[in-house]
Amino acid sequence: MKLNRYYQQIFEEELQKEILENATAYSFKAEDEIIGYNDTMSFIPLLQNGVIKVFKENKDGDEILLYFLETGETCAFTLQCIITTGKKSEIRAVAETDGDLLRIPMNKMEEWMSKYTTWRQFILSSYQSRVYEMLDVIDSIAFQKLDERLINYLKDKAMVNQTMYLNLTHQQIANELNSSRVVISRMLKKMETNGLIKTGRNYIELKDL
């Protein structure tokens, strides 16, 4: 097991050694569920490579995409669950791509907060970043039209997957934006007519977004 280069750059050698001694390596495939609703969290994930998408469910069972986790990041909601001992997960984390992560035990996460400045800075910075991303989601729902949210969603997908060719169904987009397939299909058709995208069976190619 080896730490991603990003972690090697931000953590001192002693902390890197402790991470490798205490972490559990976990590999995942695209669409694997990594964290489920109501899971008891006993670890925080350090993403070594790959992309994970994080969802939140409302009381009616509808989901919305909150944010993507990329290489070198961790999840704010798992931090919250660990800090509040015994709290169940309120999010669902699903792999967007294949990848690997390290599971850091709860007791080590707490111990390193006081022991290593670089770890404390990493955790606090990660939490702040996720909060800002969730505020962006709230703003987009409250103030952006659905077509604007759809464009931003496709751009984000292209960025995290590093490709303009996205393997997506209309239903998947509808689920992640908490909309309906019919509405999404109509918007995509309009975007294609305007030359912004090209669509095919289960794929969307970004052209001029």
- Smallest CA-to-CA distance from 41 within 103, 90, 111, 88 is with 88
Per-residue pLDDT at 184: 93
Cα–Cα dist 52/72, whole Å: 12
Q: Which amino acid is at 63?
A: E
Q: Which fold has domain 5-142?
A: Jelly Rolls (2.60.120)
Q: CB-hemisphere CA count at 13 Å for 193?
A: 6
- Smallest CA-to-CA distance from 72 within 8, 16, 130, 2 is with 8
- Contact indicator for 96, 50 with CB cutoff of 8 Å: yes
Per-residue pLDDT at 33: 95
The domains spanning 5-142 and 144-206 adopt the same CATH topology: no
> Can you give the pTM of this predicted structure?
0.76
Domain locations in the chain? 5-142, 144-206
pLDDT beneath 70, residues of the chain: 76-77, 79-87, 142
Does the domain formed by 144-206 have CATH 1.10.10.10? yes
